[in-house]
């Protein structure tokens, strides 16, 4: 429960950062969330409880960053999924959790 609340708080903070300081500033924070999501502890939480740290990223708030939606977000999903799959294989359990979110093209 606390982890899900924390993800909501991070999501709200990122939205506010985009609105206040622009997408460029928020992209640095997005990359910090990605680093966290790829960390072994976050991967374990994902496999055990299905809590996805990447859900903290409000993709819809990044409207003008086309490279994020077309290139970087698919890379992020692949990188984090590979770490999750690798740990699931080592632990001998199927990968749990939600399906990857697809970034919507920026307008």
Instruction: Assess whether pLDDT exceeds 80 at residue 103.
Output: no
CA distances from 15 to 4, 62, 89 (A): 17, 9, 35
Residue-wise pLDDT for 65-75, tens only, equals 888 989 999 99
Residue-wise pLDDT for 70-93, tens only, equals 999 999 999 999 999 999 999 887
How far is 70 from 5, CA to CA, in rounded Å? 29
């Amino acid at each position: 429960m606390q982890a899900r609340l924390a993800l909501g708080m991070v999501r709200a903070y990122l939205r506010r950062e985009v609105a206040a300081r622009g997408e460029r500033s928020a992209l640095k924070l997005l990359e910090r969330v990605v680093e966290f999501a790829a960390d072994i502890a976050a991967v374990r939480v994902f496999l055990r409880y299905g809590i996805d740290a990447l859900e903290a990223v409000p993709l819809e708030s990044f409207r003008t960053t086309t490279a994020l939606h077309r290139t970087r977000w698919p890379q992020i999903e692949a990188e984090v999924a590979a770490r999750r799959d690798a740990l699931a294989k080592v632990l001998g359990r199927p990968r749990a959790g939600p399906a990857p979110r697809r970034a919507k093209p920026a307008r």
